[in-house]
Amino acid sequence: MGQITPINAARPKVLEFFAGIGLARMGLESAGFRVAWANDYEPDKKAMYDAQFPHSDEHAFALGDVGKVKVADLPRDAALAWASSPCTDLSLAGGRAGLAGAQSGTFWHFIRLLKELNDDSPEVVVLENVTGLATSHGGDDLSAAIRAFNDLGYSVDVLAMDARRFLPQSRPRLFLVGAKNPPEDVAEPNSELRPDWLQWVYGDKSLRTHRAKLPAPPAPKLEGLGEMVEEMSGDDERWWGAERTEAFVSSLSPLQRERVASLRRGSGVKYRTAYRRTRGGVAVWEVRPDDISGCLRTARGGSSKQAVVRLGNKRLQVRWMTPREYARLMGAGDYDLSAARNNQALFGFGDAVAVPAVEWLGQHYLMPMVKGTMARAVVTERASVQ
């Protein structure tokens, strides 16, 4: 009689495409998975990845262009493939070239490798990207992505989830979950995870989709930024000097200036975040009105870096947000930053997926599907050996 492997004998293996600094890995492994292989093309991100995760003979990292990855390099027994493909060509900050763009188009190499795995392709796949994927080229890019998964035998569910449900940061993202053996479709009313603007996906009869039954996610946070801020004295050299701070205040609109002045006069200390934007060809600062961080971005220039504003007790101080604060706002407060340069860390976190969002998806959706498939495989194996 053949030996039947217990369902919980091992943590299901994952292929991690476009791994960045490994935040998806952190979330997936917290949910019970084990990342066995990863890929990214940026040496600076791999350096941070290597510092965070101890070397293991059970894990391989392929540094370089995903277009040069060969199927022979991939483990053949992975249960899940995760891809946080570049969003540059899909985001508002990019050129909106969509999936045909040079960076976001790397998605097609992910599809190629899944196809070349043939019968060894994972039971479950996930594509994580910005919500702009849903409207890119009038929805054609999202349809094309779903059809690509359909052609490989996957039914697709599409979820919209904001990291703000877990962290004090506004960071909406789209998750395409593909399954070879999807759960029973639940034709539920529009939910928090499948809002009105995604419903057209399920109404398109040319697409093979499903809607898994999921618990309600946590309610969006309304506060908590102050808990993420690094403690530092008022005379720390990272706070801007008087001249630079005055220039910051002078650039604010009258409405924002009055809001900031009111917070400054108040008792106690409050924190807000600010971005530099161009309005009418003029660079200005805009301060968020709430106790939530704006969406962290890749720090390629000053306009993409976020500032922290400390207000109260008749004082106002401004400085750049620190790498540790970026890490905390991504749910990776203990991330090893010992060898990372400042901008290297800001870029790595700004280009990543929030850890608790991945963990929630892993616990409530991905792991139950994978274990369900493994359970059916055990039943089939038992029947075949009897």
Contacting residues for 203 by C-beta, under 8 A, at least 6 apart = none
Average pLDDT over residues 41-70: 95
Place of tokens 């960071």: 171
Predicted confidence (pLDDT) at residue 308 exceeds the cutoff of 60: yes
Of 100-114, 288-302, 370-384, where does mean pLDDT reach its minimum? 370-384
**pLDDT for 160 beyond 50:** yes
Percent above pLDDT 70 for the chain: 87
CA diameter of the chain: 82
H or E element, residue 272: strand 270-279
Taking residue 374's Cβ as centre, other Cβ atoms within 10 Å add up to: 18
CA dist., res. 46 & res. 276, Å (int):
29
| Sequence spans of domains, the chain | 13-221+349-385, 231-321
Task: Find the helix packing angle between 43-52 and 342-350, rounded to 10°.
Answer: 90
Strands ordered across the beta sheet of 307-312? 282-287, 270-279, 307-312, 315-320
Mean pLDDT of the chain: 89
Residue of 280 and 205 predicted with greater confidence: 205
Please tell me the predicted confidence (pLDDT) of residue 324.
98
- Is it the case that residue 384 has pLDDT exceeding 60? no
Residue 93 pLDDT exceeds 50:
no
* Statement: residue 277 has pLDDT above 90: no
Q: Give the pairing of strands 124-130 and 80-83.
A: parallel
Q: Which of 30-39, 128-137, 219-228, 334-343 has the lowest mean pLDDT?
A: 128-137
Average pLDDT score over residue span 294-323: 87
Give the model confidence (pLDDT) of 169-221 as tens digits: 999 999 999 999 999 988 776 689 999 999 999 999 999 999 999 999 999 99
pLDDT at 103 over 90: no
Place 282 in a pLDDT band, splitting at 50, 70 and 90. Answer: confident
4-11, long-range: CB within 8 Å, 24+ apart, which pairs?
A: 4/378, 4/381, 4/382, 4/385, 5/378, 7/371, 7/374, 7/375, 7/378, 10/34
pLDDT (0 to 100) of residue 5: 36
| CA separation, residue 244 to residues 98, 236, 239 (Å) | 38, 15, 10
pLDDT for residue 370 is more than 80 = yes
CATH topology classification for 13-221+349-385 = Rossmann fold (3.40.50)
